[in-house]
Amino acid sequence: MPETFFFAPKGPFYLNDLSNETSDKNSKLKISDIKTLDRATKKDITFFNSIDYESHAKKTKAAACVTTKNLEQYLPEECIKILVKNVLFSTAKISKKFYPDSDLDYPDKSLVDSKKISSKFSSVTFGKNIFIGKKVKIGSKTSIGANSVIEHDVQIGKNCLIGFNVTIKNSIIGNNVVIQDGCKIGVKGFGFIPVKDKNFRFPHIGRVILEDNVELGANCTIDRGSIGDTVIGENTFLDNQVHMAHNVKLGKNTYLDNQVHMAHNVKIGSNCLIAGQVGFAGSSTIGNNVSIGGQAGISGHLTIGNNVKIGGGSGVVKDIEDNQVVMGYPAIPFKEFIKNWKK
């Protein structure tokens, strides 16, 4: 069964229509789409801007890749290297070429009142004033509360409970999922590339994936991925007013208390416990079995190991190895923190 995607690319385009940094030899190569390193095929272009994705770069099947002089060595020999100074800016411009309407959330013109199509969903319970887009799939025994909107091509599994005033777009939702009142799922995230006089908006063409048995508290906002996906693993629970930015990945059996914020590309492992108002800056990676106390802050591009405990109110500004317990601002080993506190 083919995967569901919510934006259809324009094109194909010749490679020299996408970038000026190509040789005459490759200029007329036809490119069908832009995809992540791991999803790209021989007809696609991709991008590689961080050594963190070395393993994907080595295995990519992409026809061409936007990257830098320092990173080109990790790509397959047959992959055409497009060398630039600013990979994300170049990628954003190419993505905009394929998906010119993806940088804003335009109203879904296919929406109809659920009363008009309720016969298609005989085992689904609808509240009042619900609107459903074309090609939506909803599993049996799912209930959807009043004033909710389910946009085109969204897939919702069996036995789900969706509250009042919920908006779902660009999303695939598993079975036994609970989405409380006021949640917004699959909306465009906060993505800009700073360039000279103004910022260039990065198109967001990805999806949100909620695996089985996920629960979202009231008024959570889950942004769709930019080119990849935003994913919440099975049996994971989010309390009220949690925000997940684009491309965040949450593992299985992880619990987030109220008002936690995860910036772009954050990865949090399985069996973690995150207390209220914790903030994660972009592109940090959190291991498995990690506990973080309330109002702690995690700086960007850090790696927090497995079985780590971080005290409430701590400020983490450097990597933490496995099995460490830290606290303070900046966070230091807990025993050292207590020793200093007693002085």
- Whether residue 152 contacts residue 138, with contact meaning beta carbons closer than 8 Å, is answered with no
d(CA 335, CA 243): 33
The residue written with tokens 């319970």 in the block is 125
- Whether residue 201 contacts residue 164, with contact meaning beta carbons closer than 8 Å, is answered with no
Residue 236, class by beta-carbon neighbours within 10 Å (0-12 exposed, 13-18 middle, 19+ buried)? buried
- In this structure, the chain runs to a length of 343
246 catalytic? Reply is no
d(CA 100, CA 95): 8
Handedness of CA 229, 154, 179, 174 (dihedral sign): negative
Two structure tokens written together for 231: 């994913």
- Whether residue 204 contacts residue 222, with contact meaning beta carbons closer than 8 Å, is answered with no
User: In this structure, what DSSP letter does residue 320 have?
Assistant: B
The residue written with tokens 């409380």 in the block is 180
d(CA 180, CA 308): 30
d(CA 269, CA 250): 6
Sequence-ordered list of residues with C-beta below 8 angstroms from that of 302, at least 6 positions apart, any chain = 284, 285, 316, 317, 318, 319, 320
Pairing status of strand 207-210 against strand 171-173: parallel
From residue 16, alpha-carbon distances to 21, 23, 288 in Å are 8, 8, 44
- Pick the catalytic residue from 204, 246, 261, 264: 264
Amino acid at 263: A
Compute the half-sphere exposure of residue 248: CA atoms within 13 Å on the CB side of its CA. 26
> Which residues are catalytically annotated?
264
